[in-house]
Amino acid sequence: MDNTKENNNDKEGLLLRMGLNDNKAGMEGLDKEKINKIIMEATKGSRFYENELKKEKQVNQRIENMMQQKSQITTQQLWKAQLQVDKLAMELEQSRNLHCTIVHIDMDAFYAAVEMRNNPELRDKPIAVGSMSMLSTSNYHARRFGVRAAMPGFIAKRLCPQLTIVSPNFDKYQEVSKEVREILADYDPNFMAMSLDEAYLNITKHLEERQNWSENKRRYFVKRGSTTENDKSEAVISKAPGLNEDAVSISPLLFEDSPPQLQHQEPEIPSQAHFEEQRDPQVLQNSVVFGTSAEEVVKEIRFRIEQKTSLTASSGIAPNTMLAKVCSDKNKPNGQYQIPSNRQAVMDFIKDLPIRKVPGIGKVTEKMLKALGIITCSDLYQNRALLSLLFSETSWHSFLHISLGLGSTQMERDGERKSMSIERTFSEISKVEELYSLCQELCSDLAQDLQKKGLKGRTVTIKLKNVNFEVKTRASTVAVVVSTAEEIFAIAKELLKVEIDADYPRPLRLRLMGVRVSGFSNEEDRKHGQRSIISFLKTGSHALDPVGSVLDKNDQDQVMKPPETSHKESFFTKKRSEMSWNHQDIFKCEPETKQSFQVSQPPNLSKEEMKENLETSENTDDCQVFTCPICFKEQGRICLEALNRHVDECLSRTLVDCDPKMVAVPQSQSFCSEVNLDLKTHETTESLLVDFVPSVSVDVLSKGKSMEDLNTRAGHEQSPKQYSSLWRKSSLDECFYQNSSHENEGYDAKSSGGQTALQASLPRDKTFMCPVCNLKQKTSDLMLFNSHVDICLNKGLIQELRKDEVSPVMNCPAENSKSTGSSGKIQKTMNVIAKTKRPGLMTQNSTSKKTKPNNSKYTIDSFFK
DNA sequence: CGGATCGAC
DNA sequence: CTATGTCGATCCG
């Protein structure tokens, strides 16, 4: 049994993947081991499980390839990469936009919450929404037993025999969702709904307007049940008659079953807001006034949602969507969390954030990065050079964005969709006729969806999953666009036929079939929806207006970008387009840049003044004086684009030159001597890339900053921080997740020891201590300082590499036979499927079961679909 | 372009 | 008694 050990590992992996390791132990619930054991028993030996193991092996193989590649990276490559990555990082830093207030709203355990609201019977029970085959969501009570979304119901039942599984009522959820949407629209008419229970808002403009609102405009009345059309909710409210004129009266009804810790949360009622009891006894209402800050706005939103729907929501407030989303998770359920709009706050937040929390990083990426020792965003930043060598450009760009705490500040325009598909799972079908008729049905349903959207495409893809959970897709592209059921089916049928014939003596034995249409043409899209024009007008009128003129950048971007890239800018993926348009953005960024560096700007700068500053800076600073981080020569008044060219040249020069040891060391040393290059760039500098330099967080002072400020900040850094208290407040889930994501690994916290000491010892007035070489230097130029640090860092990296004997420079990579060829990107995925064409084993079982396509869908449909 | 893979919910 | 979903986007050969 040579695979016993491996199996054990795999088991753990599987449990991890199923997200079950992060279950919390509760008085009534189960502890982690029990949960894992039960799941294991239920799952072991199933075809599903076997397939999971197989998939996991593939991922492991991928990781192995990656490590192999890593071992062949030379120090020169790494060094060069470091500089190039940092160049981009600097550009990104300059385009950082902190002027938007983005809110992410997330309804708590949405489906389950609706069901509980509608049926008081369920309120004290563990429940889940879904079926025996699959659950969509569970309430918090059930979660204590390890019952979670995406878990099959029959396993959930074993974990929690008392579990009530209710089948989903999507219409109901739609309705509630609509009610919520109506509220959200008051704060951002352009809000972006991600699903029935989740949305992003840009409340920048609302906040601005709100500043002038009278109290009455911010006053809401606490309703006492009678207004709700839903009888049940009245019952809910009257159930707590003792709760009267205080905050508790509007505290969540939903979380009676919340873990006890949650009840320590302070009542989620505006701190600045105050209640005013209405003296008129007949009114029987209290009113509440919300403040004008973002936090208050969000409390107001959540308050209104709860008043209207009797459901609670969690939310996050941050300068961009990525951060907002992460935030909303932090104090869930029924909580909120804000990252203030300054760079330091963002960085503090990001610092220990496990990458898995970041949207876009899923379990596979997490595992791959973990293999590189990357767990947190700081790790991500520290490994940026390596990552740029191991991952595709889009991937490492995303990583860089994440590790800098950057994300989109715009609500996505109605993105042109790229494909539309339908798929269905059913109990085994292997009869040819049934397969065809099923396919036809799918095509017909898909055609309806397509026609609703006025879409036609040229590529039809079928997807087949056999009873062993092996998935295949087969595509075919035709000359003219198709959209009708017949047209699609004609193509899909052929594809299906090929697969049936290919296996011929054996039946296909499918458990899922899907059909997809893609390759939409723009002309068609325009013709039908005139989408582009509409969205163009929308851009003009509803433009999310951050701060006055600054926002024009956004709009201009919209207009200037090529149409394909102007849509679908999930904060995660839009970067490519940013890159290609970078040179155009740079000057438009200028005003913002200026501001984003002014994190510590003089507090009372009037808007006019600010504008003025911006304007002048725009006029005069079109080209700044830059210093090349490689050769350290001043580049005069050239624009960033030119600087980039220069840096590139420098880079290739130095690399040809030689051993980095010889280059980096002398340069950095000479630089470490006192330099005073007072460039007329920004009068304020903020720590840029230095935050994550190993074991330090260096803060560059602004001119106006006093020593007290500094000390305060440094002290704040180490004392029970603002965040950790909030962190403690977070739900059990959350805490557990934190723990579980760190368990199992010799988690070697990249110690941030000495950080405070270092900060405190920072001399004032533009003399900085390099955290790596520990030498003093004097400069006001951020870039210079960073370059210096980076070079020192490179030195360190090189030494580290040497120490580890990973791949000494002289070592010829070719001698390692295993992964020849491909240098640069990860060799992606082994093609295993090709080998697995032999379907069902001996089971001759021609079980022509009734074709009973399982129609229930548990997917969360998005608002606008 | 085709196919597998990833991630979100 | 059984029993593990649906959809869109991206990446790479």
DSSP string, A399-410: HHHHHTT----S
Measured at the CA of A605, the angle between CA A603 and CA A610, to 5 degrees, comes to: 135
pLDDT band at A16 (very low <50, low <70, confident <90, very high): very low
Measuring from the CA of residue A446 to each C1' atom, give the nucleotide at the shortest distance: C7
Which residue is closest to C7 in terms of CA–C1' distance?
A: A421
Q: Is the CB of A259 under 7 A from strand B?
A: no
pLDDT band at A638 (very low <50, low <70, confident <90, very high): low
Q: Is the CB of A519 under 7 A from strand B?
A: yes
Measuring from the CA of residue A515 to each C1' atom, give the nucleotide at the shortest distance: C7
Q: Is the CB of A418 under 7 A from strand C?
A: yes
Name the more confident of A709 and A430. A430
Question: So where are chain A's domains?
Answer: 1-72, 74-98+342-414, 101-223+287-339, 419-525
What is the spatial distance, in angstroms and rounded to an integer, between the CA atom of A397 and the C1' atom of C8? 21
Measuring from the CA of residue A827 to each C1' atom, give the nucleotide at the shortest distance: C12
* pLDDT at position A847: 29
> Is 80 exceeded by the pLDDT of residue A396?
yes
**Mean per-residue pLDDT, A781-787:** 49
pLDDT band at A758 (very low <50, low <70, confident <90, very high): very low
> Is 60 exceeded by the pLDDT of residue A529?
no
What is the spatial distance, in angstroms and rounded to an integer, between the CA atom of A139 and the C1' atom of C5? 19
pLDDT band at A415 (very low <50, low <70, confident <90, very high): confident
* pLDDT at position A665: 29
* pLDDT at position A11: 40
* pLDDT at position A28: 78
What is the spatial distance, in angstroms and rounded to an integer, between the CA atom of A242 and the C1' atom of B9? 38
Name the more confident of A175 and A645. A175
What is the spatial distance, in angstroms and rounded to an integer, between the CA atom of A434 and the C1' atom of C2? 21
Residue at token pair 């994300």: A407
* pLDDT at position A316: 98
Q: Is the CB of A364 under 7 A from strand B?
A: yes
Q: Is the CB of A826 under 7 A from strand C?
A: yes
> Is 80 exceeded by the pLDDT of residue A757?
no
Q: Is the CB of A822 under 7 A from strand C?
A: yes
Measuring from the CA of residue A473 to each C1' atom, give the nucleotide at the shortest distance: B3
**Mean per-residue pLDDT, A440-446:** 97
- CB-proximal positions of chain B, under 7 Å: 1-9
What is the spatial distance, in angstroms and rounded to an integer, between the CA atom of A802 and the C1' atom of B4? 38
Q: Is the CB of A437 under 7 A from strand C?
A: no
3-state secondary structure A72-138: CCCHHHHHHHHHHHHHHHHHHHHCCCCCCCEEEEEECCHHHHHHHHHCHHHCCCCEEEECCCCEEEE
Distances (CA, A) of A186 to A203, A366, A743: 10, 38, 43
- Using an 8 Å Cβ cutoff, are A293 and A208 in contact? no
Cα–Cα distance measured from residue A382 to residue A771, given in angstroms and rounded to the nearest whole number: 14
Q: Is the CB of A565 under 7 A from strand C?
A: no
Task: Kindly give the pairing relationship between strand A313-318 and strand A336-338.
Answer: parallel
Q: Which of residues 173-202 of A touch strand B (CB under 7 A)?
A: 194-198
> Is 80 exceeded by the pLDDT of residue A93?
yes
Q: Is the CB of A528 under 7 A from strand C?
A: no
pLDDT digits (tens, 9 = 90+) for A61-84: 999 999 999 999 999 999 999 999
* pLDDT at position A146: 96
Which residue is closest to C3 in terms of CA–C1' distance?
A: A133
Name the more confident of A722 and A187. A187
Q: Is the CB of A860 under 7 A from strand B?
A: yes
What is the spatial distance, in angstroms and rounded to an integer, between the CA atom of A47 and the C1' atom of C4? 10
Q: Is the CB of A344 under 7 A from strand B?
A: no
> Is 50 exceeded by the pLDDT of residue A491?
yes
Q: Is the CB of A744 under 7 A from strand C?
A: no
CATH fold match for the domains A74-98+342-414 and A419-525: no
Measuring from the CA of residue A462 to each C1' atom, give the nucleotide at the shortest distance: B3
What is the spatial distance, in angstroms and rounded to an integer, between the CA atom of A553 and the C1' atom of C12? 35
- Using an 8 Å Cβ cutoff, are A559 and A539 in contact? yes
Name the more confident of A814 and A14. A14
pLDDT band at A668 (very low <50, low <70, confident <90, very high): very low
pLDDT digits (tens, 9 = 90+) for A335-379: 999 999 999 999 999 999 999 999 999 999 999 999 999 999 999
Cα–Cα distance measured from residue A396 to residue A386, given in angstroms and rounded to the nearest whole number: 9
What is the spatial distance, in angstroms and rounded to an integer, between the CA atom of A861 and the C1' atom of C6? 10
* pLDDT at position A33: 92
* pLDDT at position A533: 33
Q: Is the CB of A828 under 7 A from strand C?
A: yes
For the ranges A167-181, A217-231, A676-690, the lowest mean pLDDT is seen at: A676-690
- CB-proximal positions of chain C, under 7 Å: 2-13
Q: Which of residues 319-378 of A touch strand C (CB under 7 A)?
A: none
Q: Determine whether A169 is exposed, middle or buried from the number of CB atoms within 10 Å of its CB (0-12, 13-18, 19+).
A: middle
DSSP annotation of A411 reads: P
**Mean per-residue pLDDT, A259-284:** 44
**Mean per-residue pLDDT, A699-725:** 26
Measuring from the CA of residue A149 to each C1' atom, give the nucleotide at the shortest distance: B9
Considering the domain delimited by A1-72, tell me its CATH architecture: Orthogonal Bundle (1.10)
pTM of the model: 0.64
What is the spatial distance, in angstroms and rounded to an integer, between the CA atom of A472 and the C1' atom of C7? 16
What is the spatial distance, in angstroms and rounded to an integer, between the CA atom of A447 and the C1' atom of C7? 16
For the ranges A158-172, A282-296, A328-342, A383-397, the lowest mean pLDDT is seen at: A282-296
Q: Is the CB of A458 under 7 A from strand B?
A: yes
Measuring from the CA of residue A361 to each C1' atom, give the nucleotide at the shortest distance: B7
Q: Residue A767 corresponds to which tokens in the numbers above? A: 């003399």
Measured at the CA of A779, the angle between CA A773 and CA A784, to 5 degrees, comes to: 70
What is the spatial distance, in angstroms and rounded to an integer, between the CA atom of A575 and the C1' atom of C10? 14
Considering the domain delimited by A74-98+342-414, tell me its CATH architecture: Orthogonal Bundle (1.10)
* pLDDT at position A46: 95
The yes or no reply on domain A101-223+287-339 and CATH 3.40.630.40 is no
Listed ranges A521-535, A713-727, A785-799; the one with the highest mean pLDDT: A785-799
Measuring from the CA of residue A364 to each C1' atom, give the nucleotide at the shortest distance: B6
Q: Is the CB of A362 under 7 A from strand B?
A: yes
What is the spatial distance, in angstroms and rounded to an integer, between the CA atom of A24 and the C1' atom of B3? 40
Distances (CA, A) of A284 to A232, A276, A354, A800, A822: 20, 12, 47, 70, 73
* pLDDT at position A378: 97
Q: Is the CB of A394 under 7 A from strand B?
A: no
Cα–Cα distance measured from residue A503 to residue A508, given in angstroms and rounded to the nearest whole number: 7
* pLDDT at position A324: 98
What is the spatial distance, in angstroms and rounded to an integer, between the CA atom of A677 and the C1' atom of C3? 70
Alpha helix positions (H), A215-289: 231-238
3-state secondary structure of A756: helix
**Mean per-residue pLDDT, A602-606:** 34
* pLDDT at position A255: 37
End-to-end CA distance of chain A: 51
Name the more confident of A166 and A824. A166
Name the more confident of A843 and A426. A426
- Using an 8 Å Cβ cutoff, are A97 and A319 in contact? yes
Which residue is closest to B3 in terms of CA–C1' distance?
A: A473
Nearest Cα residue to A336 out of A306, A377, A374, A381: A306
Q: Is the CB of A834 under 7 A from strand B?
A: yes
> Is 70 exceeded by the pLDDT of residue A143?
yes
What is the spatial distance, in angstroms and rounded to an integer, between the CA atom of A778 and the C1' atom of C10? 46
Alpha helix positions (H), A454-581: 485-502, 522-529, 531-542, 552-560, 563-566, 575-580
Q: Who contacts A440 (Cβ-Cβ below 8 Å, separation ≥6)? A: A485, A489, A493
For the ranges A212-221, A291-300, A837-846, the lowest mean pLDDT is seen at: A837-846
pLDDT band at A602 (very low <50, low <70, confident <90, very high): very low
Q: Is the CB of A133 under 7 A from strand C?
A: yes
For chain A, the maximum distance between any two Cα atoms, rounded to a whole number of angstroms, is 88
Q: Which CATH number fits domain A419-525: 3.40.50.300, 3.40.50.1820, 2.60.40.1120, 3.30.1490.100?
A: 3.30.1490.100
**Mean per-residue pLDDT, A443-451:** 97
Q: Is the CB of A154 under 7 A from strand C?
A: yes
Q: Which of residues 469-508 of A touch strand B (CB under 7 A)?
A: 471-477
Name the more confident of A426 and A642. A426
For the ranges A27-41, A460-474, A545-559, A788-802, the lowest mean pLDDT is seen at: A545-559
pLDDT band at A317 (very low <50, low <70, confident <90, very high): very high
Q: Is the CB of A473 under 7 A from strand C?
A: no
Listed ranges A129-133, A284-288, A621-625, A789-793; the one with the highest mean pLDDT: A129-133
pLDDT band at A224 (very low <50, low <70, confident <90, very high): confident
What is the spatial distance, in angstroms and rounded to an integer, between the CA atom of A225 and the C1' atom of C8? 41
**Mean per-residue pLDDT, A238-252:** 35
Q: Is the CB of A395 under 7 A from strand B?
A: no
Measuring from the CA of residue A833 to each C1' atom, give the nucleotide at the shortest distance: B4
Name the more confident of A7 and A197. A197
> Is 90 exceeded by the pLDDT of residue A18?
no
